Amino acid sequence: MSLDTNEDHGDHGGHHLPAVDDWPRGFGEASWWPFVTAVGAAGIYVAAALFVLGRGEESIVDPVLGPAAFAGSALAFLVGVYGWLYHAFVVNFWERGTDRHSGRTLRFAMLLFLGSELATFGAGFVYYFFIRAGAWPPGNLPHLVSSLVLVNTAILVASSFTLHFAHVALRKGKRNRFLALLATTLGLGVVFIGGQALEYYEFIVNEKFTIAEGAFGSAFYGLTGLHGLHVSLGAVLLGIVLVRALRGQYSAGRHTSVSTASMYWHFVDVVWVFLVVVLYVGATV
């Protein structure tokens, strides 16, 4: 639906008008995608429940059910999200015109989401501060401040800079530089995730330091795991932005999702620096 069909209603120019090509077709105020997305998301929780019920010697349900339900639900969730976002933002990117208002709203919503993320991470850090304030160390600590962590930190910090300058390049209209820096950022992010996986491997297999390894193990795997999930999500977001950019979307005036994705990425980066300082360095000094 184009922007001008709604102007006689005297509202904000109809920036909420839903996607041009949606399901079910022909209904402006209806869409199956939110329902599909929600069913998929709720299914992931049901899958977690089935996983819990499938554990142990005398499991209540078949252990296969949990992972199977997870696969199905994740698929439904992704299909829902894809249908929703693709039709709302991607498919008619250039036709739907510029709208400073909705770009501002999306950036503001990302800011609010990051505010809620502070609380999400906050609970884990509070646990760590609780035990750090007690008798220290609580058992054997692994070799925390290794060259791997330092290199990984440098990589993630560098990726924030490359992303920032990618954004700057886009706003100056230097498209090739934008694409190159964006791809570099994504590459650095993937290397970081690989580095984290390598560290987990070192700790779990070589040092026998697992999540069940006492008070510090809970804090370490809880916080780095939560952060790792966030970096992975960030990489997915950057990947989507990169694909859209490669297909010719975005311009100096149209870059809302570049800026929301980079807000998220910078946030995750800052959390990592804080995490290294208090969890890696703070545990050893």
Partner 1 sequence: MVPGQLALTVLMGVFLVGVAVFLSRVEDWRSYRPAAGSGGYGEAVGEVRREKPGGLVRWLTTVDHKDIGLLYGTYAVVAFAVGGLMAFLIRVQLITPGGAIVDNSFYNSILTSHGITMLFLFGTPIIAAFANYFVPLLIGADDMAFPRINAIAFWLLPPGALLIWVGFFTAPLGVGIEPAQTSWTMYTPLSAEQPNPGVDLMLLGLHLTGVSATMGAINFIATIFTERDESVTWANLDIFSWTILTQSALILFAFPLLGSAIVMLLLDRNLATTFYAVGEGGGPILWQHLFWFFGHPEVYILVLPPMGLVSYILPKFAGRKLFGFKFIVYSTLAIGVLSFGVWAHHMFTTGIDPRLRASFMAVSLAIAIPSAVKTFNWITTMWNGRIRLTTPMLFCIGFVSNFILGGVTGVFLASIPVDQVLHDTYYVVGHFHYIVMGAIGFAVFAGIYYWFPVFTGRMYQRTLGKAHFWLSMVGTNITFFAMLFLGYLGMPRRYATYQFNEAIAPLDLVTLSHQAASIGAVLLLVGQVVFVWNLVNSWLEGPRVEDGDPWDLRETGQHDREFAWHERRIETAITDGGSDQSSAGDLDPAGSGDDPNAAGGDDPTAAGGDDSNATGDDPDAADDGRDQ
Q: Is 33 in the site for partner 1 (CB under 8 A)?
A: yes
SS3 99: coil
Nearer to partner 1, 70 or 165 (CB): 70
> What residues from 75 to 94 belong to the interface with partner 1 (CB under 8 A)?
84, 88
Position among 7, 67, 71, 104 found at the interface with partner 1 (CB under 8 A):
104
Q: Does 39 bind partner 1 (CB under 8 A)?
A: yes
Say which amino acid occupies 137.
Answer: P
Query: Structure tokens of 275?
Result: 């995490």
Question: Residue 251 in 3-state DSSP?
Answer: strand
Instruction: Tell me the torsion sign for CA atoms 112, 268, 200, 141.
Output: negative
Please, which residue, 119 or 285, has the CB nearer to partner 1?
Answer: 119
Please, which residues have CB within 8 angstroms of residue 175's CB and are 6 or more apart in sequence? 169
* Residue (124 or 234) nearer to partner 1, CB: 124
Q: Which of the stretches 48-56, 227-235, 264-272, 274-282 binds partner 1 when contact is defined by CB under 8 A? A: 48-56
Q: Which of residues 49-68 bind partner 1 (CB under 8 A)?
A: 49, 52-53, 55, 60-62, 64-65, 68
Judged by CB under 8 A, the residue of 71, 78, 123, 151 near partner 1 is 123
Q: How far is the CB of 119 from partner 1 (least distance, A)?
A: 4
Is 14:7 a contact under the CB 8 Å cutoff?
Answer: yes
Q: CB 105 → partner 1: shortest distance, Å?
A: 4
Q: Which stretch in 143-151, 160-168, 182-190, 207-215 sits in contact with partner 1 by CB under 8 A?
A: 207-215
Binding segment for partner 1 (CB under 8 A), chosen from 142-150, 171-179, 218-226, 258-266, is 218-226
Q: Least Å distance between CB 169 and partner 1?
A: 28
Question: Judged by CB under 8 A, which stretch of 3-11, 141-149, 166-174, 250-258 contacts partner 1?
Answer: 3-11
**DSSP assigned state of 285:** -
Copy the structure tokens of residue 130: 């609780």
Local structure of 254: helix, strand or coil: strand
Per CB under 8 A, contacts with partner 1 among 146-205 are: none
Of the pair 95, 176, the CB lying nearest partner 1 is at 95
Of 97, 98, 130, 173, which lies in the binding site for partner 1, with binding defined by CB under 8 A?
130
- Dist. CA 104–CA 255, nearest whole Å: 11
Angle at 207 between CA 205 and CA 210, to 5 degrees: 70
**Binder among 30, 71, 154, 205 for partner 1 (CB under 8 A):** 30
| # of chain residues touching partner 1 (CB under 8 A) | 73
Give the other-Cβ count within 10 Å of 29's Cβ.
7
Residue 120 interacting with partner 1 (CB under 8 A) = yes
Letter string b/e over residues 159-198, b meaning 16 or more CB atoms within 10 A of that residue's CB? bbebbebbbebbbeebeeebbebbbbbbebbbebbebbee
Q: How far is the CB of 275 from partner 1 (least distance, A)?
A: 14
Kindly report the backbone phi and psi dihedral angles of residue 136, in degrees, each rounded to the nearest multiple of 5, phi listed first.
-135, 140
Give the chain's end-to-end CA distance (angstroms, integer).
60
